[in-house]
Amino acid sequence: MNSSLLSQKTKKDLWYKEPWLLLVVGGPLIVVCASIFTGALAWHGSDKVVAEDYYKQGLMINKDLLRDAKARELQLSASISLDLAANRLKMSVLANKELPDTVQVSLASSGGRTSSVSEVIRRLPMKQIRPGEYEGDMNAASNFSLASVKLLHVKVETTEWRLTGDWFDPEQRLAHLTAAK
């Protein structure tokens, strides 16, 4: 009986037609291909996670907190309006201390759907025309257009204090800023 088993020709399949080869090599091969694809995708589409000046930004957080605390101490509040006819920005500031002759207003707006720029920031110096009343020329903000802007982030600041807030629909409404809590 044993001799009949040995005398039969054994059927040999080619190595690449062996089903066990697909099971042993196929799974890891798919994983390797997927990881190469994911790596290439991450390499070409990566965002900068850390800003180049991260250390300076970290130090500025403490200064910003101190300036916010100073604004609370001075009980600062401001109202900002836009005079479209004269293309001027007007601001009224209330405080329990004398105010500086000039302040800087930063207006940040989104670039819109068609623009590739995510945020546009314009800085506008404002001069005191009467005690607590400031005025700035919008032409100094270098081609800043409010035609399609519905929301501005406003920051009024000096070296000692700052006020921040959002200004919804600047062509129609006033912005009211108070010291951050």
Q: Mind listing the pLDDT tens digit for each residue in 46-69?
A: 777 777 888 888 888 888 899 999
Residue at 129 is within a domain? yes
Number of domains in the chain: 1
Residue 109 β-bridge partners:
120
Residue pLDDT, tens place only, 87-104:
888 999 999 888 999 999
pLDDT tens digit sequence for 125-175: 999 999 999 999 887 766 566 666 678 888 888 889 999 988 888 777 888
d(CA 75, CA 30): 64
Q: Where would I find the H helices in 1-132?
A: 2-7, 19-44, 54-73
> Residue 143 sits in a domain of what CATH number?
2.60.40
90 in a structural domain: yes
For residue 54, is it within any domain? no
pTM (two decimals)? 0.61
Indicate whether 147 belongs to any domain.
yes
Q: Is position 58 within any domain?
A: no
Amino acid at 32: V
Kindly state whether residue 106 falls inside one of the protein's structural domains: yes
Asked if residue 31 is part of any domain, the answer here is no
As a whole number of angstroms, the distance between CA 154 and CA 167 comes to 7
pLDDT confidence band for 116 (50 / 70 / 90):
very low
Q: What is the pLDDT of residue 111?
A: 57
DSSP-derived letter for residue 159 is: S
Answer whether residue 116 is part of any domain: yes
Q: 103 lies in which domain range?
A: 76-178
Task: Return the structure tokens found at 147.
Answer: 């035609």
